[in-house]
Structure 1
Amino acid sequence: MSTVQPLRIALADDQALVRAGLRALLEQQGITIAFEADDGAQLLDRLATTPVDVILSDIRMPGVDGIEALRQLRERGDATPVLLLTTFDEPELPLQAAAAGAQGFLLKDAAPGDLREAIEQVAAGQVLLQPVSTDPIRSRYRYHADDAPRERFTAREVAILRLLAGGYSNREIARAMFLAEGTVKNYVSAILDKLDTRDRTRAVLKAITLRVI
């Protein structure tokens, strides 16, 4: 009879007390902390030799922060799921992190059960796109009526927009949705055209503002 191996987590936060609290909380729930890091640079160094199932990282850290560490991780071809810790007063950071390739976000005051569930979800390949309120984003980036999409979005286009918000590449979207990469490229082009933007990150921002996703 085989036994299920506990999830192995890399924990990055510049505050030792926060790391200690998270470690105790996760270990009580049967999750193994493979290692801790106090900044993004140390996180990247340790990941080079110690693979994990999920990376749980604060966004704001001195030196190499969580988003920059995520960018460098993806640039070197490491697809380890990343779950970033954030707060309600950081409405723009989740968009930047999604564009960099994060699988999800979690509020720092999340309940223990929510923390475990989020880790298990991203470990299983799911994407948590909106763990923080998008209302601050919408209030800051208001689009006028003439900025509304030129046409209504199909269900498939909305699904692709959500994956774009998660930082997925065309190839990854194609694999996830069982489509040809060229077909995904055509969908993305149509989405950008409807939102009147050439930039994927701005398209995601505008789609959130307009309540498309």
Structure 2
Amino acid sequence: MSGPRIALADDQALVRAGLRALLERQGITIAFEADDGASLLDGLAATPVDVVLSDIRMPGIDGIEALVRLRARGDRTPVLLLTTFDESDLMLRAAGAGAQGFLLKDAAPEQLREAIVRIAAGDALLQPVSTDPVRARYRYHAADAPAEPFSVREVAILRLLAGGYSNREIARSLFLAEGTVKNYVSTILDKLGTRDRTRAVLKAITLRVI
């Protein structure tokens, strides 16, 4: 079983070692490792890879700033960022900077491999978050939020809308039909009382739905 060549960036050596062992068993080649954004950028300048797998939070140049600099120098290497649920604001910034995907750090090994393979093939990916954290976060802001709650799927779609993804890209990311995504977007607009996607995203961010 062979897979893409990746660059692995995380400031914790034990985390990198664990990910390397896990991925190499699944046929993923680790072309090089980096312990911060600066060494990641240097490595990518010398060693092309199929996918960058990077933590968001790193000292110095973090995962998002590294992504911004990578895109600024014209490097379109797909980037998959490892994140936690409470980093949704960072996820929005990273999506705007050109990240191809996000994966929660508690993802199963097979999910991680699938995400790397899909992104290497040109897909975009956002792992839907678990129901309980979404509901807990939503209840916390319930006084300011629309009267009708958002489903987990709607929150996932809102995040992708915030990242500038098209209906087709959202459909591919979430394994849905494009028509189904259009229906979801229409429902989201109705719940937020807005007429277009941009206003819906801005209102969702303001209300801290995403």
Retained in 2: the 8 A contact 1:39–1:62?
Answer: yes
Retained in 1: the 8 A contact 2:6–2:51?
Answer: yes
Determine if the alignment matches structure 1 residue 82 to structure 2 residue 79.
yes
The corresponding residue for 2:209 is 209
Structure 1's 48 and 139: CA in aligned 2 closer, same or farther, altered over 3 A? farther
Retained in 2: the 8 A contact 1:195–1:207?
Answer: no
Aligned residues: 179
Residues 62-211 of structure 1 mapped to structure 2, 5 A cutoff: 62-133=59-130, 134-135=134-135, 138=138, 144-145=145-146, 164-167=161-164, 194=194, 202=202, 205=205, 209=209
Cα displacement (A) at 1:127: 1.2
Retained in 1: the 8 A contact 2:101–2:124?
Answer: yes
Secondary structure of 1:11's aligned partner: strand
Choose from 47, 52, 55 the match for 2:52: 55
Distance 1:41 1:124 in 2: 26
Retained in 2: the 8 A contact 1:102–1:167?
Answer: no
Q: Percent identity?
A: 66
Structure 1: where are the runs of 5+ without partners? 147-159, 177-190
Secondary structure of 2:87's aligned partner: coil
The corresponding residue for 1:20 is 17
Cα displacement (A) at 1:166: 4.0
Secondary structure of 1:202's aligned partner: helix
Structure 2: where are the runs of 5+ without partners? 148-156, 170-188
Determine if the alignment matches structure 1 residue 7 to structure 2 residue 7.
no
Describe the superposition over 1:3-45 as per-residue Cα deviations: whole angstroms up to 9, x where unpaired.
x963100000000000000001000001100000000111011
Q: TM-score, normalised by structure 2?
A: 0.68
Distance 1:167 1:14 in 2: 29
Structure 1's 58 and 199: CA in aligned 2 closer, same or farther, altered over 3 A? farther
Retained in 2: the 8 A contact 1:91–1:137?
Answer: no
Q: TM-score, normalised by structure 1?
A: 0.67
Richer in helix (by share): 2
Distance 2:101 2:4 in 1: 17
Describe the superposition over 1:173-208 as per-residue Cα deviations: whole angstroms up to 9, x where unpaired.
6x97xxxxxxxxxxxxxx9xx467968973774799
The corresponding residue for 1:30 is 27
Question: What RMSD in Å do the two structures reach over aligned CA positions?
Answer: 3.7
Distance 1:35 1:77 in 2: 20
